[in-house]
Amino acid sequence: MTVLSDPSPAVAEPEDARGRVAELHGIRAQAQAGPSEKATAAQHAKGKLTARERIGLLLDEGSFQEVEQLRRHRATGFGLEEKKPYTDGVVTGWGTVEGRTVFVYAHDFRIFGGALGEAHAEKIHKIMDLALTAGAPLVSLNDGAGARIQEGVSALAGYGGIFRRNTRASGVIPQISVMLGPCAGGAAYSPALTDFVFMVRGTSQMFITGPDVVKTVTGEEISHDGLGGADVHAATSGVAHFAYDDEETCLAEVRYLLSMLPQNNQEAPPVARGGDPADRRSEKLVDLVPAEGSRPYDMAAVLEEIVDDGEYLEIHERWARNVLCVLARLDGEVVGIVANQPQNLAGVLDIDASEKAARFVRTCDAFNIPLVTLLDVPGFLPGVDQEHGGIIRHGAKLLYAYCDATVPRISVVLRKAYGGAYIVMDSQSIGADLTYAWPTNEIAVMGAEGAANVVFRRRIAEAEDPGAMRARMVEEYKSELMHPYYAAERGLVDEVIDPSGTREVLIRSLAMLRAKHADLPTRKHGNPPQ
């Protein structure tokens, strides 16, 4: 690894207090400037901003307060004693985003390639401890080459301290990882322990073992982006929640996400009243969802009609697209919405969708964000791959997440809600506070066709015209057990509502539930399915 020369100049001994102050300003200016103009130009040539430029985009202008700017490593050997730049390759401190405190650390790739050494790690530990103490979000701007090899095991121990603090802060303060460069080996576990991961296409990668190791061990040849680029993690692995084309857009979206999160788990998310009336009706909703259960539609269009100004932030937009997980506002209050997406795999639940929704539900519950669930689910995806892949335990993760959640929970059955998937998607039986249904709802053990084949198998087989008998039995099953008011008559649905008034019903219900208090049994912690 290339190491940088010591940027600090020889400073004349000051003779008075003003000289000391001038000396301080000179040293600080050099620390802020970084190692050299050449190093900065090299960073820009890669399409990447410097650590301080990134912090400037993330935080409100002029709000950044740096911590341990003059920190230097104390390592010796391999020429390190002659190369001791200020900051030691990481900029740490706090500032504000829309006036609210946010802590941040940013790797400076220009210094030791952003590699983590002992002093570097201690700076990160310090800012993580401060974030937890102050009860404010922590954002990491990652652009580092991993552990500083010259410092050996001390660097590895530094990572251990970061992981331990990530875990202690989990569910207490929001933690956001922004990947703006390489992140390989054990370093990748810190982002994986945080609540949200952002990546930038073309410049950021995450992997445990790089392409060279993969080729040596398996013989497979693959590029850095092909192995662990932004698109791979956003669409295939699910490691990244968001992926963007440039750093400016990425950091603007981090600010937007922070505007919808509370400072910590003891606070509610910030309220932002707008001009969208709480009692606004939407006649479009009546026509958006076809009554025929086999016809697809775009659930995103339904969300746009319900939430404030049609605006929402989708989490994991490109992964497990058969379920939508979004943060939005209803009458200015932040809500988390889980919704089946009939446009993809008919909205069924599979392994990835269950994982995605379960994680989102637990995140919302940790940070006091009420949950709204919109159901149109025909069941779990059948298949050998799903069963062998553990759909039972993965589906149980979503069930566990809902059952364990204590925030206000409201579900709305738009159309199909069949079998175990109906139960798992926050049915009244697992603790939803309120359950509504549209007149197009079909709540049942299974679809009418499948049910008729099971219940009336013998009558169909013995009939002179099995096809006609099957059709007759399907209609009979529908009329008896699948009519829109069957569940409401049995108290499993609180109300069948006019779709055009869904927004108003949700807002009124959430207002009533705002002071909800629910206690879980005393325990060290639960043991969710893995």
On whether both 504 and 429 belong to a single domain, the answer is: yes
| Residue corresponding to tokens 């609210």 | 100
CA distance 396 to 355: 9
On whether both 168 and 239 belong to a single domain, the answer is: yes
Check which CATH number belongs to the domain holding 176 and give it.
3.90.226.10
* Domain-embedded: residue 66: yes
On whether both 237 and 343 belong to a single domain, the answer is: no
CA distance 187 to 98: 30
Phi (first) and psi of residue 241, to 5 degrees: -85, -30
CA distance 118 to 92: 15
**For residue 16, what is the DSSP state?**
S
CA angle 43, 49, 50 (to 5 degrees): 75
Q: Are 510 and 407 in contact (CB under 8 A)?
A: no
**For residue 500, what is the DSSP state?**
G
- Catalytic residue numbers, as ranges: 185-186, 420-421
End-to-end CA separation in angstroms for the chain: 39
Distance from the Cα of residue 4 to its chain's centroid: 36
On whether both 105 and 203 belong to a single domain, the answer is: yes
Q: What pLDDT is recorded for position 353?
A: 97
* Domain-embedded: residue 31: no
On whether both 291 and 211 belong to a single domain, the answer is: no
* Domain-embedded: residue 177: yes
Structure tokens at 176: 């956001």
Per the DSSP assignment, residues forming a β-bridge with 67 are 92
pLDDT in 10s for each residue of the chain, 530 residues: 444 445 455 555 667 888 888 888 888 888 888 888 898 899 999 999 999 999 999 999 999 999 998 787 776 677 677 677 878 889 999 999 999 999 999 999 888 888 888 888 899 999 999 999 999 999 999 998 777 767 778 878 888 999 999 999 999 999 999 999 988 888 899 999 999 999 999 999 999 888 888 888 999 999 999 999 999 999 999 999 999 999 999 999 999 999 999 999 999 999 999 899 999 999 999 999 998 888 999 999 999 999 999 999 999 999 999 999 999 999 999 999 999 999 999 999 999 999 999 999 999 999 999 999 999 999 999 999 999 999 999 999 999 999 999 999 999 999 999 889 999 999 999 999 999 999 998 888 766 676 666 777 777 777 878 888 777 777 777 777 667 788 888 888 999 999 999 999 999 999 999 999 888 888 998 999 98
How many structural domains compose the chain?
Answer: 2
* Domain-embedded: residue 478: no
* Domain-embedded: residue 407: yes
Distance from the Cα of residue 58 to its chain's centroid: 18
On whether both 75 and 116 belong to a single domain, the answer is: yes
On whether both 322 and 366 belong to a single domain, the answer is: yes
Q: Is 318 exposed, middle or buried (0-12, 13-18, 19+ CB in 10 A)?
A: middle
CA distance 55 to 90: 12
Question: What is the pTM (predicted TM-score) of this model?
Answer: 0.90
On whether both 289 and 224 belong to a single domain, the answer is: no
Q: What pLDDT is recorded for position 446?
A: 66
Q: Of 18, 30, 98, which Cα lies nearest the Cα of 61?
A: 98
On whether both 237 and 314 belong to a single domain, the answer is: no
On whether both 95 and 220 belong to a single domain, the answer is: yes
Which are the contacts of 440, defined by CB distance < 8 A and separation ≥ 6?
289, 291, 414, 415, 484, 499
Q: What pLDDT is recorded for position 291?
A: 87
* Domain-embedded: residue 274: no
Phi (first) and psi of residue 328, to 5 degrees: -150, -175
Domain that holds residue 505: 283-441+484-513
On whether both 69 and 111 belong to a single domain, the answer is: yes
* Domain-embedded: residue 378: yes
**For residue 270, what is the DSSP state?**
P
CA distance 165 to 172: 11
* Domain-embedded: residue 268: no
Q: What pLDDT is recorded for position 119?
A: 86
298 Ramachandran zone, left/alpha/beta (phi>0; psi -120 to 50)? beta
On whether both 216 and 332 belong to a single domain, the answer is: no
